[in-house]
Structure 1
Amino acid sequence: MFLGHLLLSGTLAALFGAFHFHGLLAAFVLLYLLCRLAVSVQPLRRHARRVELGSAFIVWFIGQVLLASLHVASLVLARQVRVEPAVVAVSLRRPEARLATLLGCLLSLTPGTMALEYRETEGILFIHALDARSPAAVEHLLRELERRLLHWLDAGGSG
């Protein structure tokens, strides 16, 4: 549905002669608003809700990457490097291989963390953290990422 939304936005922008970034963005937002206002058509409402949650997730995740970048930069530029790297094992709420893969990829994009291994039988994801003085903080990062990701992915089932 999202790909259809994107293709329709591109077609709409091309028809109006505004096939550049701003025109494509305006057409995307216009179609989103039309989907959101179509309250009687359930699939369109679910699609609009997914677009909202996906956009919020992306903005939040970019903020997390920026904060982690600043943290790693402060560790590198400090006079005395005080890091305690460690491998932390975290059990996932939903032990699905595709979800663990997605979480691992997102964690590996965050500076200072990297997903190492996932044991599907136990539902445990092993994470290497550059600064794991507090393993609870590393687990909290994964829990928040998992919660927000599941909230976005499960939005298609509710109206």
Structure 2
Amino acid sequence: MLVLHLALSVAAAAYFGLLHGAGILLAFIALHLLLRLLPIARSRRHTVWVERGSLFSLWFIGQVLLASVQVARLVLARRVQVEPAIVALRLQTRDERMVTLIGGLLTLTPGTLALDYRAEDDTLFIHALDARHEDEVTGMIRELERRLLHWLRPAPEASNHDR
């Protein structure tokens, strides 16, 4: 459904002579709003998925920017006060695809690096540049996992009046 959504967006943008990034984005949003209004369960699930993905992406970009500022502050400080550590965290999900995605996203975040995953007890090992406040490190990872699962978990089935 997403591929069809993207293809129709590009076609609409081309038809109106707006075949550039902003034009395609506008066509995508307009088509998204149209799909949101349709009383079809499949289009409803698709729009919820796109909305959750957009919110997750914006949140994650904000986390990367925040972590970049924190790492820059540590690097530029006169006295570097960090306590690097390896943190073991038991994940909520058992799906190895999700674990891989969580590990990749953590590695993209400055100051953290996913090292290993032990499937026997669902434990992910993360290197944190500054683990003086381990609860903040684990809290950030828990929030990442929660938001990612919220996005990628199947949307609730539409009610009968949506069909």
TM-score range normalised by the length of the shorter chain: over 0.9
Deviations 1:74-120 (Å, cap 9, x if unpaired)? 10011100000000000010122111100000000100000000111
Work out whether 1:2 is the aligned partner of 2:2: yes
Runs of 4+ in 1 over 6 A off after TM superposition: none
Q: Which moved more, 1:104-113 or 1:20-29?
A: 20-29
Tell me how far apart the structure 1 counterparts of residues 137 and 34 of structure 2 sit (CA, whole Å). 41
State the one-letter code of the partner of 1:124: T
| Contact 1:49–1:155 (Cα < 8 Å) also in 2 | no
| Contact 1:112–1:131 (Cα < 8 Å) also in 2 | yes
In the other structure, the counterpart of 2:124 is 125
1:120-159 mapped onto 2 (5 Å cutoff): 120-159=119-158
| Contact 2:106–2:113 (Cα < 8 Å) also in 1 | yes
Deviations 1:43-86 (Å, cap 9, x if unpaired)? 10111111111111111001000110010001001110000000
In the other structure, the counterpart of 2:85 is 86
| Structure 2: unaligned runs, 5 residues or longer | 159-163
State the one-letter code of the partner of 2:2: F
| Contact 1:53–1:152 (Cα < 8 Å) also in 2 | yes
% identity of equivalent residues: 56
Output the TM-score relative to the length of structure 1: 0.95
Deviations 1:16-38 (Å, cap 9, x if unpaired)? 22111121111101110011111
Output the TM-score relative to the length of structure 2: 0.93
| Contact 2:41–2:157 (Cα < 8 Å) also in 1 | no
